[in-house]
Amino acid sequence: MTTAPAAGVRDVPLPPVTPGPRRLFKHPLLMHYNRLAALVVAVNLVWAAARWPLPASSPGHAALANLALAVLVRQQYVVNLMFRLATRPPTSWPLKVRWTLGKVYHFGGLHVGGALAGAVWFLASVLAEPDGPGRAVGLALTGLLALVVATAVPAFRSRHHDLFEKVHRFGGWTALLLFWAHTLLSGAGPVPVVVLAVVTFSVALPWLRLRKVDVRIERPSPHVVLARFDHGETPFAGSSTAISRSPLKEWHSFANVPSPAEPGFRLTISRAGDWTGSFIDDRPSQVWVKGITTAGVANIETLFRKVVYVATGSGIGPCLPHLLAAEVPSRLVWATRDPRATYGDALVDEILAVQPHALVWDTSRHGKPDMVRLAYAAYRDFGAEAVICISNKKLTWQVVHGLERRGIPAYGAIWDS
């Protein structure tokens, strides 16, 4: 283990930023998530222009196609499939290609684009309908879709996440019922019914696996707990599990930490709000789980010959399964407050056993570091091809975009759910 700042990484010079046009495409506003959303909208505009004037049935069919895309692209089996396909190419492929494939976790842009386009198309189809029960249901559904879209706006979602989650869940279920009513009342053909059935099954599938399971809680400090599960599943490294204490109210996803030689898995849960604080203080003996374990951002590591993991605080949790599995040579940079007092000797020793050359920055002794500089120093010294950052939203974006604008592949969560 290297302790900082003795290693002298404070003074490591950063490489220059790339030329203007290349740097422009690394701006947060042009990240792949937004590009995918724009692509879906653009495809809809091109399709409409090519078929103009549109037949009477086209807006309804377009609405269903786009809203089906919005739902299915979030389905856990579909997410895992997208990750599996995107990470299949060998490391012999050109770095630029692998760099782009690594952005697979931005698939939420397809969800956003499909939802926006679908809502607009549905409004157009309803306005063209004659008066009657079908149109009344359509107008009610249009208002509900507008509410769901409005509460998903990032500014609102970040401030009122619990409300956003409830509107998305219960509003989505109600919208699905109204879609069925509208489809049947409008006398649509078999194709819309089949598509709607597939969407309904996709929404129901995770809930068909709802169950309450035992959990053992270890609390090395008031800041964090290690939740241990052994209910017959050992998830793959880099996946996440959603847990809840009230399944109809709220769900929280955490990275699974399986140990190569042990059954079951752990979740690292740190105090970051009311729910996690209550979980740490109460230490429940059972929680609800649903669906299947789902691939997370760090699964893209297999696209590269060597990677650097950058973590702050409990961000070590999503990194740990990859460090333990050691499928790809990696180097860890971890900045946290008093790691042994916060996370316990056992966890820290487990990390150092597989990462003896890790750079661990104790913020209680050395203050907050320049994480972009630390990440670049590790990237350069280790000869890595990419950096994966697991931290809070502000710092993740600082690291990811701070490196990418300098021509270094970097990845981190985008908080789109």
| Strand, coil or helix: 53 | coil
Confidence of residue 6 (pLDDT cuts 50, 70, 90): very low
Q: What pLDDT does residue 26 have?
A: 82
The encoded tokens of residue 89 equal 């190419």
**Least confident residue range of 1-10, 19-28, 94-103:** 1-10
Question: DSSP letter string over 150-216?
Answer: HHTSHHHHHHSHHHHHHHHHHHHHHHHHHHHHHHHHTT--HHHHHHHHHHHHHHHHHHHT-EEEE-E
Distance CA 101, CA 417 (A): 21
Looking only at the bridges linking them, the beta strands covering 216-221 and 294-295 are: unpaired
pLDDT tens, 182-228?
999 987 788 999 999 999 999 999 999 999 999 999 999 999 999 99
Phi/psi of residue 36, each to 5°?
A: -65, -40
**Would you give the DSSP letter of residue 33?**
H
Q: What pLDDT does residue 227 have?
A: 94
The average pLDDT across 269-274 equals 86
The average pLDDT across 292-306 equals 95
Confidence of residue 2 (pLDDT cuts 50, 70, 90): low
Instruction: Flag whether pLDDT at 409 surpasses 50.
Output: yes
pLDDT tens, 109-151?
999 999 999 999 999 999 988 888 989 999 999 999 999 999 9
Instruction: Flag whether pLDDT at 417 surpasses 80.
Output: no
**Least confident residue range of 259-268, 284-293, 363-372, 390-399:** 259-268
Q: What pLDDT does residue 9 have?
A: 64
Confidence of residue 302 (pLDDT cuts 50, 70, 90): very high
Q: What pLDDT does residue 319 have?
A: 94
Contact in structure between 69 and 114 (CB atoms under 8 Å): yes
**Least confident residue range of 53-62, 184-193, 319-328:** 184-193
Q: What pLDDT does residue 10 have?
A: 65
Q: What pLDDT does residue 4 have?
A: 55
**Least confident residue range of 191-200, 228-237, 337-346:** 228-237
Instruction: Flag whether pLDDT at 290 surpasses 80.
Output: yes
Percent of the chain with pLDDT over 70: 97
* Residue in this structure with the two tokens 């050395």, named with its chain if needed: 366
Contact in structure between 292 and 77 (CB atoms under 8 Å): yes
pLDDT tens, 168-181?
999 999 999 999 99
pTM for the full model? 0.92
Contact in structure between 365 and 389 (CB atoms under 8 Å): no
**Average pLDDT of the residues of the chain:** 92
Q: What pLDDT does residue 151 have?
A: 94
Distance CA 75, CA 107 (A): 11
Distance CA 350, CA 348 (A): 5
The average pLDDT across 328-338 equals 96
Single out the residue of 293, 287, 290 nearest to residue 214, CA to CA. Answer: 287
Between 142 and 273, the higher pLDDT residue: 142
Distance CA 369, CA 310 (A): 12
The average pLDDT across 11-23 equals 83
Q: What pLDDT does residue 93 have?
A: 97
What would you report as the CA-atom Rg of the chain, rounded to the nearest whole angstrom? 23
